[in-house]
Each structure stands twice: as C-alpha cells, then as structure tokens.
Structure 1
Amino acid sequence: MIASSAVPPAALDLLITQGFDATSVDELAAAAGISRSTFFRRFGSKENMVFADQEMIIAHVETTLAASSVDAITTLIDAAHVVFDQYTVNPEGAALRHKLLSSVPSLRERELVSTHRYERAFYGFLKRRDLAKTASEKSLCLGVSAGLVAIHNDHLRSWLKDAHSTDRTKLANDVRQFLNRFADLLDPDQKATPAKPAAPSVVVSVLDAAAEEKDILQAVSRALKEHGK
C-alpha cells in the first residue's frame, strides 16, 4: 500500500469551497503548507495536484502486475486491491476528491483518461502473459480489463456512499467470480476435470426358469426398448 496521500485534504476542501477556477495556486500552496515554488515543483498545476494520488496508484498497479509470479486471476485481484485499499485508507481525501470531480466537468474528463490507463495496464499485463495472441483473445482481454475496472469502480462508489456496504473481501469475491468466467483464457494450463462416466443402467426381466433361449432374448429386447435403449 502507498504510505500516504500526495494531495493535502485542506487543498481539496478549498477547491470545493471556493471553486476550482476561482482558487489560485498561491491559496492552494498556503492550504497545503508549502511555498508556491514547491507547489509547482511537486504538482506542476492545479489539475495535476488533484490527480497526484492517481498517478501514484497507477504506478503501484503497474509494479504489482510486473512483479507478479502467480496466476493471472490472483494477480488481477491483487491489483484491484491496490487501488481500492489506497482510496479506503484515506476516507476524507476520497470523499473530498469524489465531491470535487462531481462538480468540475474538466476533471471528470481527466478521470476518464485515468480509467482508460488502468484498463491499458491490465491489458498490458495479459498481453505479456501471452494471453492475447489471436484477435479473439485480444478482444476478450480488452473486455476483461474493462470489466475489472467497472467492478472496482462500482464497489468504490458503493463504499463512498456507505463504508459498510462493501470491503476488499467483497470486491475480491466479485472480481474472482467475474474472472472465473474467463478461466479458459486466463488460466489455459489448468487441467480440465475429466467427466465421470455415466452410471450403467440395469434392466431387469422376470422370466420362468424353464424359458427357452429365444423367449429370454425377446424379453430382454422388449425391456431395452421400454427403457429407451
């Protein structure tokens, strides 16, 4: 988990209170307790400051994916946890950022770009695992990547509304259930469980002990026809 947030909550609160366009860099620097020059050196712009945590999280996700030596499904769940954990460990910052993004259209557009970067990171991982060799596999891997982001974001939105509505375990369960639908793609080396042979049917015919051979054969033939054999 990333140790701490890069974005001071006081700065986010100021952007919400005064408005994104109306708040100056000097005011944000003062709210963050840093100088103007330090603000530009650290963030570069107001917009970059809002998404500074996002950049850290994406970098951490990419590191998690690149360093993994376990199966693809487990790795993708771990990566989803990286994102979820970073937001939920800082409820105040997550709530402020969500409120700010909801009120500033230009920031929402930047958020969509960040979402696409997560999808690219997941797809890049699957491609490096040689799971997107054909056109069909590529399409499925793109779908898996987008679906993973959608499930994570749904849990995050639920958490923002009610912190007790979901947690990392529920997120992992839903992600695993989704990814298991693509197990043939994500875990191609998995041994398929051989199908059990069907239990033999038993057909009983009751005959007289003195019955002749042709009578026995006819009785058995009738019994098999009655049982659909």
Structure 2
Amino acid sequence: MSVRHHRRPLFASAVLVAAAGLALTACGPENSDSAGGSAASAPATAAVTPSPAGGPASGAPSAGAPGAGTASHPAAQKPSGASPSGGTRPGAGSAGSAADHPCDIQNLAIQATARAGAPNQWVIEVRNTGASACSLSSSPGVDLGNSTSPDQSKNIKPVLASGTSRFPVPAGQKAYAVIDLDPSGATTGTVPGINEINVLVDQDGTNMPLANTRNFPLDSGARVLNPKMGLYRSSVADAVTSMAAAPK
C-alpha cells in the first residue's frame, strides 16, 4: 500500500508538467509579437505607398526593373516614315530627298500658255525630263515687260501667294503655276506696252542663274494690272486655287 501512495503524486506531477508545456507553447507567438519579436516570423512584404504626383508607387518595381510590366509599356513611337528596324519605309521622305536636289535646267521642259476660258490667266508648266526627282523654288520667278525695251528694270512683278518650301517634281511629272495678269478684270488703267512674260523656273539664285530665264510673248492686247501668282502645284486646278489665295 505504501508503494501506491508513492506513485500517484508522480503521475499527477507529470500531468501538471505536460499541461504547463502546452500552455507555454500556445502563448509563445503572442508574447513574441507583443515584445517586438524577430521579423523572420512575419511574412516578407514591402509597403507600397502611392506617389502623390501620380507617378510610380514608391516601393513598386520601376519600369526598367526585372519583372516590371515592360510588355504593357511599349517604347515611344518612331517618327513618321521610320520602319520598325529604324530605317525609312519605301516611299517615305521622297519630298525631302527631292528638295535636296534642285532641278537642272537641262532636264526641264518649260512652256507658258494662256489658260483656256480665262484670257487674263497664264499657265506656266515645267516638266521634269530627268531620271530622278528634283525640286523647284516654291514659285517661279516671273516678270512682265516689253521685249523691245532696253530697260527691263521697270518690269512688273506679280504679287505672290505665301509659301517658301521647295516644290518636289518626280521624274516625268509636271509642276504648274498660274498667273493672273489682271485679277480685277479692269479694261482701263492697265499698264501699256506689256507684250512679254519672262520666267525663271527656279528663282533661288544659287540654283539657277538669270541666264536661264525663258521669254514668252503675250497675246496682243494683253491687259496687265496688279497681277498675282500662286505657288507651284501638281495640277492646273490646284495652281489656280493657290493663285486665288494671293493677296490683292
């Protein structure tokens, strides 16, 4: 009987020790949090704070960082005319290339004729007979005078439509400019003795000297008063529209 009374307290002590161990295990994490325990026990997350300026959030990956959404942010577009490989697509920039190559007078066919249905208007036509595109000044150099006068310094120059860009002319194509000798249609007060129209198809003196001026006789009785002229265009209709826009 004495042995039984000796073991019972040991069994009870074992139970008490086990219970205490369980209690300590259950309270461990809570006590660790409250005491500012090791960060390794918490998930490794980074706080993301929105940028006040509307830019990328602080703490977020930058656009160039590995893993950032670069596929959803395409590169800036290339200028018009550029191919994906960085070259120039076929046909792009042809006007610019022509502008770099002024037309050679030897590769031009030039004529000036009265415009049908508009007796006071004349059409200057320039055809590029060369093998490649070239360019002319924005409008031809034109003056009106008397072919027999020794003094051509008083020749009349038309008022021009505004514009300074050189006009490209593809190989085999034409450029047109229209001049109205008497826009008001006046029959009195016109300048007497005008019988010739003088045309320098490229009035940029560095590309074409005055010696390349072409002279075309005007119809007898041509009336000239405050003439005006448009810019080169690829059709007569467009050249008329440009001429109409010239100031009076």
TM tier, shorter chain? under 0.3
Q: TM-score, normalized by length of structure 1? A: 0.23
**Larger radius of gyration, structure 1 or 2?**
2
TM-score, length-normalised on structure 2?
0.22
Please identify which structure carries the higher helix content. 1
